[in-house]
Amino acid sequence: MPTRREFVTALAAGSAGVGLAARPTAAESVDLTKWLADTDGVNGVVDRRGREEVVVTVGAEGNGGAFGFGPPVVRVDPGTTVRWKWTGKGGAHNVVASDGAFESDLHNSQGATFTHTFESTGVTRYYCGPHRAMGMRGAVVVGSVSVQLPGEVTPTPAAGGGGEESNAARSFDGWLSETDNYDGVVDRRGREEVIIKVGAEGNGGPLAFEPAAVHVSPGTTVRWEWVGPRRYDVVDPELGYESRQVAGAGYSYAVEFGGDGLSTYECTKYGDRGMRGVVLVGEGPRETLSWQGLGAAGVIGGLLAAPLAAGIRLHNRTATRSGKSFGPEE
């Protein structure tokens, strides 16, 4: 693992038709909510890209016994071989693609395996024939295809965590404790771009980020879009990104998160009234994590604002800034 990761690249884009520098538009999302509605353990897409072979357990705990695939949903690169490996628990299982692309024999012995190589981008649904009705289903996501999973709002733990376990949504050490529109972390992992509304209804007026907390994959661009009538900004002083304070719908500000981490941000004018948000990226913060950032201001009302840039390095979630600011003179 590298000791340094690029975490943040920020661009602001205004209403004059200037947007983010070219990132491919995400393909239409594949809806897996019905397919996996009765399947235990679907907590997101497990990213296994960058590997030539990926192992999925057959007979993992779930669905009332050893009737699960582990992990149920996995993302791989085109050309990756998935190897299903039997635990020997839960009786005889097999692996059957719903589109007929492959079907293994039934096995009940520990260590039995079956492989299939996924050559093309797309989503393959599969199941165990004897236990399909019990929820023993899975999916292989190939490439950067966006997928929708059951339970869009989930109590995703605050990474790095601590705190008492409960069924209530985490408040990220109190950061969202006064944010009245926060009721859980919205899972948007597996998408190239995620939209957060700025000035949505909440906290006694148009004073909310919607959703208030979102879980994304590394490499995702989060775009804040102004929808409310007041002057808002998006600021995380620890990571060092900051939008302009702008009134009126149509303005947007975007940040690309390129590594595991946690961003707690707010609107500086209304943060004390609960207008706060969280972006949880990948596995969250790690003790040795570093971030680097680059910011630029964009277009407002057709006038190009002076560009700003800042280099930032943080060695953990509570570290102080040690980087160097730079940018053209105004």
- How does pLDDT run across 67-121, given as a tens digit for each residue? 999 999 999 999 999 999 999 999 999 999 999 999 999 999 999 999 999 999 9
Range of the structural domain that residue 216 is part of: 8-25+151-326
Are 20 and 70 in a shared domain?
Answer: no
How, if at all, do strands 303-304 and 299-300 pair? antiparallel
pLDDT of residue 22 exceeding 90: no
pLDDT at 121: 93
Q: How many domains does the chain have?
A: 2
Are 111 and 156 within one domain? no
Rounded to an integer, what distance in angstroms lies between the CA atom of residue 193 and that of residue 181?
22
In the chain, pLDDT over 70 holds for what percent of residues?
71
In a domain, 137, yes or no: yes
> In the prediction, which pLDDT does 151 show?
65
- Phi and psi at 284, nearest 5°, equal 80, -170
Question: Within this chain, do residues 141 and 157 fall inside the same structural domain, yes or no?
Answer: no
Contact 245, 273 (CB under 8 A): no
Length of the chain, in residues: 330
| Half-sphere exposure for 239 (CA within 13 Å, toward CB) | 34
pTM metric for this prediction:
0.46
- List, in sequence order, every residue forming a beta bridge with 325; answer none if it has no partner: 310
Indicate the residue among 130, 145, 160 that finishes a domain. Answer: 145
Whether 2 is in a domain gets the answer no
Are residues 40 and 178 located together in one domain of the fold? no
Specify the pairing of strand 235-236 against strand 65-70: unpaired
Q: Which residue has the higher pLDDT, 219 or 128?
A: 128
Q: Indicate if the pLDDT at residue 325 is higher than 90.
A: no
Q: Are residues 188 and 316 both part of a single domain?
A: yes
Q: How far apart are CA 330 and CA 325, in angstroms?
A: 14
Tell me the two tokens of residue 289. Answer: 């994590």
Same domain as 211, residue 75:
no
Domain membership flag for residue 81: yes
124 and 243 fall within a common domain: no
Residue 88 sits in the same domain as residue 57: yes
Domain boundary among 105, 125, 145: 145
221 and 73 share a domain? no
Tell me what pLDDT residue 8 has. 55
User: Among 124, 145, 166, which residue terminates a domain?
Assistant: 145
277 and 298 together in one domain: yes
- Highest mean pLDDT out of 33-47, 101-115, 182-196, 239-253: 101-115
Could you tell me which residue, 138 or 319, shows the higher pLDDT? 138
What span, in angstroms and rounded, lies between the C-alpha atoms of 239 and 9?
A: 10
Domain assignment present for residue 1? The answer is: no
Helix (H) or strand (E) holding 117: strand 113-118
- Whether the pLDDT of residue 128 is over 70: the answer is yes
Q: Quick check: is 3 in a domain?
A: no
Structure confidence at residue 282 (pLDDT): 84
**Contact yes or no for 127/98 (Cβ under 8 A):** yes
Q: Contact at 8 Å (CB) between 295 and 325?
A: no
